[in-house]
Amino acid sequence: MAKIKTRDRILDTSLALFNSVGEPNVTTLLISDEMDISPGNLYYHFKSKGDIVEELFGHFEEEMLDLLAVPEDVDISLDQQSFFLHLLFEAVARYRFIYQDLVNILSRYDQLQVRFKRLLKKKTAAFRVICESFRRQEKMDIEAEQLDSLCEQLTLTACYWSSFDTLSHLDNREKVDPGRGVYQMMHLMIPYLAPDEQAHARLASRDYL
Amino acid sequence: MAKIKTRDRILDTSLALFNSVGEPNVTTLLISDEMDISPGNLYYHFKSKGDIVEELFGHFEEEMLDLLAVPEDVDISLDQQSFFLHLLFEAVARYRFIYQDLVNILSRYDQLQVRFKRLLKKKTAAFRVICESFRRQEKMDIEAEQLDSLCEQLTLTACYWSSFDTLSHLDNREKVDPGRGVYQMMHLMIPYLAPDEQAHARLASRDYL
DNA sequence: GTCTATAAGTAGATAGAC
DNA sequence: GTCTATCTACTTATAGAC
């Protein structure tokens, strides 16, 4: 069994530290200390701390783009949708350091701004595709204005739920339960679902509590 | 006309800078530079940067507690409620630096954590009082489970809308329009309103776009 | 109250030996 | 690839003159 390359260990360790104490509070020294390597060694593999952040962001971006490639014109079931939400929240939770200090990070690494905004747009678009699929299947009844508002609300919630949730247990930033987020997202949609689907969604949502 | 005291100018300037470039990016040197006073002078008035942050937070806290003292057992009208939301978003916008780097700030000034959480609880409670007033007046029809979810969602949105909105125009962090936030909040409640109130709320909400 | 000068500490990053 | 040593830059904060 080949040992993990130092470069990858740096990424893993950084991600764990960023998530647990926040990216701005993590110094390159802390990362190398945690790994029992020298700071010089870290800088052999990455030319700056920003490069680590950007590479991690790149991984996140890749995962998200993959996930958000929701096929249009396909009938999506409620269960498929909640599974999708589950995966979405898991990905966000794995890279929650980005969201916890979002404005700060995007202002310091400004090439990430445009990429993050693109992700946001794709997220909103994905929710719209899902809602429109429901609408075609007559599982959802919603007017244009409400649909816009709902999709924005879903995007907002997908972004900030985990941070908001963390606030309730700021003492340990380690574990984050994506479940409550999925629950909350489903409850945003429930009012617009057809009666049968509503009942189904209510029951299904409870699994996430 | 008496000139504004240096101490107050420090608070004003700090607030403006915090809001516009983010608290972590504002050094005491930048504040004193902006005011054309010496850093020593700043430290004559405040013993640390943290003290400035805490005093500003105190002002925010005071405003919010004032605002959130919603009387129970009183019939609240839809218009009163949207006015309340308006004031709420304005207060948040005025102190948006707190929210833009929330996790970061709360982790560095940890005495603020408990105070912030208390505000969150009060916020959720205020939304609950409002919804229950609507329910008593038969303006709202909502079940317990949905009410919980709605109040949490309102709190989340009240916290993060302005940050979320700022993301769309990260180039200039100066101006923030609280209107869209109010609109979004109203649209969260609309599905649960009685038909007449729904129509009213839809119309009223458009004023905030 | 306000200034200048500077201390003390920390972060990011580099040089050069092994 | 990895280490030690070190540099530069910056930030907070203080000392002491005016």
Test A170 with B145 for CB contact under 8 angstroms.
no
**Superfamily of the domain at B67-206:** Tetracycline Repressor, domain 2 (1.10.357.10)
Output the CATH code of domain A60-206: 1.10.357.10
State whether residue B13 sits within 8 Å of chain A by CB. Answer: no
Domain boundaries, chain A: 1-47, 60-206
Residues of chain A with pLDDT under 50: none
Please report the pLDDT score of residue B1 as a whole number: 57
Does the structural domain A1-47 have CATH classification 1.10.1040.10? no
Test A102 with B161 for CB contact under 8 angstroms.
no
Nearest-CA residue relative to C1' of D14:
B40
What DSSP string describes chain B?
-PPPPHHHHHHHHHHHHHHHH-GGG--HHHHHHHHT--HHHHHHH-S-HHHHHHHHHHHHHHHHHHHH-PPTTS---HHHHHHHHHHHHHHHHHTHHHHHTHHHHHHHSTHHHHHHHHHHHHHHHHHHHHHHHHHHTTSB---HHHHHHHHHHHHHHHHHHHHHHHHHTTT--S---SHHHHHHHHHHHGGGB-HHHHHHHHHHHHTT-
Tokens at B109, concatenated? 């000034």
Neighbours of A178 (CB within 10 A): 22
Please report the pLDDT score of residue B177 as a whole number: 75
Please report the pLDDT score of residue A54 as a whole number: 98
Please report the pLDDT score of residue B2 as a whole number: 65
Please report the pLDDT score of residue A4 as a whole number: 85
Residues of chain B with pLDDT under 70: 1-2, 169-176
Which of A39, A102, A97, A95 lies closest to B24 in space, CA to CA?
A102
Asked if B6 CB < 7 A from strand C, the reply is: yes
Please report the pLDDT score of residue B173 as a whole number: 61
pTM (predicted TM-score): 0.95
Please report the pLDDT score of residue A157 as a whole number: 98
